[in-house]
Structure formats: C-alpha cells, structure tokens
Chain A
Amino acid sequence: MDLVIILSTLDATIRLSTPLLLACLAGLYSERAGVFDIGLEGKMLAAAFGAAAVAAVTNNVWLGLLAGVGVSLSTSALQGAAAITLKGNQLIAGVAINMLAAGLTTFLGIQWFAQGGRTPALTPDSRFGNMTLPFADELAGVPVLGQIYSELISGHNLLVYIAFLAVPITWFVLYRTRFGLRLRAVGENPKAVDTAGISVIALRYQAVLITGLLCGLAGAFFSIAQGSGFGNNMTAGKGFIALAALIFAKWKPVPAMFTCLLFGFLDALQIRLQNTDIFGVTVPVQAIQALPYILTVVLLAGFIGKAVGPKAGGVAYTKER
C-alpha cells in the first residue's frame, strides 16, 4: 500500500473515531460519577436530529449546534432526574432514553419535514465544513511529514478538533482539579463524599450534564458535520460501541482516545475492504460491515482482562436511615 492509501485510511479513522470519542468521554464523566449511562446512543441520536432540524430551518450551523447540545442536555437532565433524584434503575433510565430518542426523532422528522424521517439536506452554510489548518497547502508538497500534516491533521471539521482537544482537558479535569477528585470519589464511595460534607446529588448532576454536553457534540457531528442532514437511526449503535470502548479503556481518558481510534480504524478498514477481493474471494459487504462490531465483542471478551468499573456505579445514593 502506498502512503496515499494509508493516509486516506487514517484520515477516515480520525473522522470515524470522532463521534465515538465524544460519546466515550461523555460516558466517562457520568460513569466516573457513579451513574451508568447506557443512553449515550439515544442522546446522540436526539442531538443529531435537533441539530439537523434547527440547522435546516435556520440555515445557521451554530444555532444547529446549540439546538443539538440543548436537546442532549435536556435528555440528560431527564435521565438524571430518573436515575439520581428519583433513584430509578440507571440501566432502565438509559434504555428508556434510547427508545424515546429512536421513536421521537423519526416521528417528529416525518411530521415536520415529510421526507420519510429525514431532515432536508443542509447547505454548506448550515453545516461544519472542513477546516484547512495554517500552512497546510504550503506544506503539502513536503514528503511524508508535510503530507501527514496536510492530509491527516488538517482538513477536518471543527468538532473533530474539539473531540481530540477534549481528551487532555478531561484528563486535567479528572486528575488535577478539585471537581475531578470529587467526581472520581463519588463514583467509588459516595458515602465518603457525603461525610466530607459535599453533595453527592449535585456532583452527579454536574457529571451527567457534562455527559449531555459531549453527547450533544457527538450527535451534531453526525448530522451537521460529517453528514448533511438527519437520517433515521443515523448513529447506528455508535453509542454502544463508545460504551464498549469506555470499558475497554477502563474509564480513563487517554486510553479511551486510543480505543476509539482503534474502533475508528476498524470502521475505516471495513469501508476500504468493501468490494475488494481477499485472497481471491469476494467477501459479502455485510460480513465486512459487521467486522468492527464482531471485533468489539472479541476485544471486550478476550483482551480486556477484568474491567472493574467505578465501585458505586449503578446505584442511586441513599443516606442511611
């Protein structure tokens, strides 16, 4: 394979990892605080729809983004109310969000736009275009390094850069700030936090809202950055893969990035392998498309070892007596 093919595959890797990474980091905040979030998928889907719908109507990408994030935040708040305040089962709260999002986006799409659930195609103004980083064109002629810079690093949309920037930020927040210390503590032993005189409930809400924010960005990426409009179930289970990546990365931000890149790479490979013969045999497209999902299962089952999540995860906090 020559450099161009490798670069274009890696370029696709970065693009395909972005929503995974955003969703994975989203889940990280919530789960580190002790709220299991199986509803990443639903929040992304709802955000994708919200962003596309508003962007299509207003023809403004920023309003679209704002709407996507807003929808995701309110969904998070709803999930938080169920799982934190009302002490409902966190898994069921998440499943409910997923089902609600799947149904409601299609229903509203048909009602509002009458295009079989799709939102109208977006104009260039109403979606995030690819950005050319400074000197990308000038350096394109420089062999290897210049090519990597101009092909691989430059030329993505804003949300891609935000996603990768969120990794060091998350690391810093988690390990170098008071909020991060408390966040990690509340997922491990909420009683320790409570007896230290800090509100467990408030901390968990803050975490869940950050999750909402990041899921909003991930959803917007699908419909108004990578795509140009919303399509039914366009998140295609990426929220669950992000959840798998989170477990695989043992709830740590930097490993989360590499895991998401790995899953993104599998996806990119899958696209590249379609319609190519492997050892003279034409493999059905469906089998190739299933590859990333199969590998997710294999990786999770075989290579991860024992993944111990935050100890207090999944349980609503109740003061004793």
Chain B
Amino acid sequence: MTSNTPSGATSAQRPSGAADASEFAIELRKINKRFGPVHANRDIDLAIRRGSVHGIVGENGAGKSTLMSILYGFYTADSGEIRVNGTTHAITDSRHALALGIGMVHQHFMLVDNFTILENVILGAEDKALLGPSLERARKELVRLAKDYRLDVDPDAVIEDVSVGTQQRVEILKALYRGADVLILDEPTGVLTPAEADDLFRVLRELRDQGKTIILITHKLREIMAITDYVSVMRQGAIVETLKTSETNPEQLAELMVGRRVLLRVEKGPAHPGEVLLSVENLVVKDDLGVTRVKDVSFTVRAGEIVGIAGVAGNGQSELLESVSGMRDQSAGIVRLKGKPLSLEGDDGAHRARQAGLAHVPEDRQRMGLVTAFEEWENSILGYEDDKAYGKGILLDIDAARAQARERIKKFDIRPANERLKTANFSGGNQQKIVLAREMERNPDVLIVGQPTRGVDIGAIEFIHNQIIKMRDAGKAILLVSVELDEIRSLADRILVMFDGQIVGEADPATATERDLGLMMAGIGNKAAPQARVAAEGQRE
C-alpha cells in the first residue's frame, strides 16, 4: 500500500494534492466500497494522467471492475472523492459519467445484435423523437471518427454479421460519439484474436496521441507491457503499487498481483514419448452450415507428450476438437485410441469417447463444460453420473458425490471451497479447475484440452499448466488447442499449426520463433510478419 500517483512520471511531477487541474484527467481519493462483508475497494487513491494509457492489473476479484463501475456511475462509493479534470463530482449514474466525458467499453458488449452499427451508435443518444436527423448526424460523425482515429466501420452492417473485433470498435465509437475523453476498457482483448488485439492497440495509441485518456483493465501482463504508459496493480481491493510501465517488468507485476513469486515460464522436464495413444487419420469435419472446416487432417499423439495445435481462431481447431471428442460428427476419417478405432458418431459419441478413456476439457467451459446453474458437486460428476461410484440404479448417491467433490476441491485448490455453491458464482479460473478436476481425475489415457486458460487468473494459470504437465509425466497423451501462442510454446512438446482446416506445419517449440509460427498461422511462407498478420485477418473474415 505505497505510492498513489504515477511515480517518476515526468520531471514536472508534483505531489498529487497540488496537481495542476490539467495534469490528471481522473483522480480518485480514498474510495471505499463494500458489498456486504466483502470490502471490494479499500482506500483507493489513483490518479490518471491526461493523454496516457493507464493499465490496471489484478486477479479476478481484486476490485478492478468495481472501481471502474464506481467511476462510470454503476455503483456509488461508500466514501471517497472522484475528481474529473480537477473538479469534484458525485457521479450518480452512467448518464452523468458520460456527460463528464467518461465512456466505458464493457467486457461483454452492450450492443443490440440485430441493429445496424449506426443504430447501435445512436441508441440512447438520439437527438429528437424522429430518427432520421440523428442517423444522418451519426453517419457524418462516424466518417469523421474513422478519419481521425482510423476506426473504419460500415455503418449499415448489422452487428451479428460483423466480427468480434468490429463489434468492439463499435463500442469504442459509441463512447466517442457521446464525447468521451476518458475511455475505460474492461478486459478488452478477452474475446479478440491476436490480430484483432494488435489492431485494438493501434487504435488505443491513436486515441492517446490525440489527447484521449485510456484506462485499460486487464489481467494480461503482456498487454500492460505492450500498450500502457503507467500501471496500477490491485490486490484484494487495494492498490498495491502504481508504476511507470517502462520501469517495471512482467515478473515484478505478477508478484505484486499475486502476492508471491509466480513462474511465468512453465517449468518442465524433457518429454519421454512412448507408444501412440491417439491417432487421427484423414479427418474431415463440416460445421453446422455444411462448410468443410477440417480438411483431411492426420496426426498422432504419443504417451507422455503434449501436442499443441496453434492457429488463429476459426481455422478449424474448434471443429477438430469437437469431432475428436465425439461432439460433432466427422464426414470422413478415423480416430484411433490405442490403435482401436473409436466410434464417435451420433449423439452419444462423446459419451463413448469418455468411456473409452478419452477425456475432454472443452474450449468454452460455460457453454460446453459446465451447467453454471448447478451446484459445484453436480458439475463435478456431470457426464459421469452413470458411474457406479455415484449410486446404483436410478438413485444418485449424493453423499458420495459430494464427498468426492470436496476431495477434488482440496486437491485442485478450488475456491471458495464449497461444493454446494452455485457454479456461476465461481471465478473463471475456479470454474476451469472444476472441469479439469472432473476430467483429469478419471485418469484417462488421452486428455484433450481446448483453451485451458482463457479468462483465467495468473495464479490459476500456473496451477493449470502444472497439472497438465503432471498428466504428461504420468504417461498420458495430451492434445492442447489454444489461441494463446505463448501457452502453446511453453507447454507443448510438439507444435502443429493449423490454417484453413489443414495442418500446415510442425514445429519444435525449443527452436521455433514466434515469427516462424506467426507466418505459418497466417498460411504464408516467407513474407514479412506484419503483412502476414493482415493476411490472417483477411482470411478469418
């Protein structure tokens, strides 16, 4: 609980109390907020320098979002003072915040899917009862914003037809249209592909260079290092430290966030691959629209190795995972487990695959891995509820299931340690641990893992990675699919790169550079990296 203003900012640095009105866009002083027994924000002092990108990092539940919600007028602080441009304001609702020039881009977009971009931009900011003039003005304004910040969108495109990256752009445009000078972004890259994230950062730099102030909430240290000028670290509701980004490093930030030393690099010994446990031969998979998404893919995974599949999202990885795990029918090809062909067709394909010893941690834990309305113990037996361990005949042995859930909670350090809690009330990392525990504790021969750490805290990431390595060292075959290239590079023993439904290359993580992999991911041989990114973007859309 030390410094409060960006330390070592400029030579003209003054104590925050005497700060010039023009120096800080936002100053928060002694902000406190409690939700019942939870002290979500305690004595927060924070000053955001005008025209800077200020990162706020912290694990889930550290109080970042609460703090920003107070600034944006969703909640009212129990005590404390908010100064905007040097003047104290009691921000009562989001309308008030918008009037003060504070705009927010929410983690889950606040867009109407079947509206055009133009309609979304003016919603709530219409001039008059008739829409015509407002739409005209917005159309002109969008052209201007597109020019000023290189934020091009097609105003007449319908939201549900455009990419996630474009949707986020619309959120930014909404805030700018309402005259925001301070832009708060809450975990903006969680849903973006790497190329889209790069583009977002470009836009943010552009905005900063033209005098806007950006507050970036994230738990990804890479983003902090890449884009911010200052960074404040939050832990358990308090600001632990505010630093100049150029004077810190990811290791220091991670330690401040978690409160202990964290290994960002996964520690693992060499792999000792044994017999082939999983082999996929000439697999062809179509998506729901009948488009072929996996085109004649073959590979093997051996006992005691982790095979990582890298690629920009949407190049067939999801369909590959869903097909091998029995959730989606294959059009052609064979999947063998220990040499025996697996019958994966039909609605019970996934069940048969699990029975045969193939466990699956799906990409989207909330949609496919869990029933979030269930209590934790119910999810911990989901998919295995027929198992004799959980009861005979039509009755569940609830005590046995709960006892086992408690054991797993202990073993996987799932917090809060309460098997009767609704799953929706666990954080993303803990939800992921619930799924991992369920799948790993069955002691399968093959474990298929999709996006194991998407939306997961740094501390939990370390734990999850270690569990996966442990499985490998126990002689299991692991197939890992992730859009986080860093994750693939640090975990996998062998990297396969997928592009446009095909495996376009194999790489050794020890020798392959990020650039090599990036080029393969873009489906390009030897052009320069930036162009590859652009090409990949075009390909995706």
Point out residues on A near B: beta carbons under 8 Å: 175-182, 184-185, 188-189, 191-193, 195-198, 311, 321
Contacts and interface: CB of A to CB of B under 8 A. Distances in A.
Contacts of A192: 110-112, 120, 123
B112 A196 contact: no
A321 B125 contact: no
Contacts of A189: 110-113
B132 A193 contact: no
A197 B126 CA distance: 12
A195 to B, nearest CB: 5
Interface of B: 35, 93-95, 98, 104, 106, 110-115, 119-120, 122-126, 128-132, 134
B124 A198 contact: yes
Nearest to A310: B114
Contacts of B130: 176-178
Contacts of A188: 112-115
Contacts of A195: 94, 104, 106, 110
Nearest to A186: B112
A182 B115 contact: no
Nearest to A312: B112
12 contacts: A176-B132, A177-B130, A178-B131, A179-B129, A182-B123, A184-B115, A189-B111, A189-B112, A192-B110, A192-B111, A196-B123, A197-B95
Given A175-B131, A176-B130, 8 more contacts: A177-B129, A179-B129, A182-B124, A184-B115, A188-B112, A192-B112, A195-B106, A197-B94
A198 B95 CA distance: 9
Nearest to A176: B131
Nearest to A311: B113
A63 to B, nearest CB: 32
Contacts of B122: 181
A168 to B, nearest CB: 15
A179 B128 CA distance: 10
Contacts of B115: 181, 184-185, 188
A184 B113 CA distance: 11
Interface of A is mostly: helix
Contacts of B128: 178
Closest 10 interchain pairs by CB? A196-B124, A197-B95, A192-B110, A178-B126, A195-B110, A188-B112, A185-B112, A189-B112, A198-B124, A178-B129
Nearest to B95: A197
A293 to B, nearest CB: 31
B110 A184 contact: no
Contacts of B119: 181
B193 to A, nearest CB: 24
B129 A197 contact: no
A227 B111 CA distance: 47
A165 to B, nearest CB: 19
Contacts of B113: 188-189, 311
A177 B95 contact: no
B126 A181 contact: yes
B68 to A, nearest CB: 13
A208 to B, nearest CB: 20
Contact of B112 (A176, A177, A184, A321): A184
**Which of B95, B110, B119, B132 neighbours the largest number of chain A CB atoms within 10 Å of its CB?**
B110
B40 to A, nearest CB: 10
Contacts of A321: 35
B192 to A, nearest CB: 20
A85 B132 CA distance: 33
B107 to A, nearest CB: 12
B123 A177 contact: no
Nearest to A175: B131
A104 to B, nearest CB: 38
Contacts of B35: 321
Nearest to A197: B95
Given A188-B112, A188-B115, A189-B110, A181 B129 contact: no
Contacts of A180: 131
A197 B111 contact: no
Nearest to B119: A181
B194 to A, nearest CB: 27
B358 to A, nearest CB: 34
A189 B98 CA distance: 20
Contacts of B134: 178
Nearest to B127: A178
Contacts of B94: 195-197
A186 to B, nearest CB: 9
B67 to A, nearest CB: 14
A177 B111 contact: no
**Which of B35, B124, B132, B134 neighbours the largest number of chain A CB atoms within 10 Å of its CB?**
B124
A36 B129 CA distance: 26
A179 B131 CA distance: 9
A272 B128 CA distance: 50
Nearest to B115: A185
Nearest to B130: A177
A250 B177 CA distance: 32
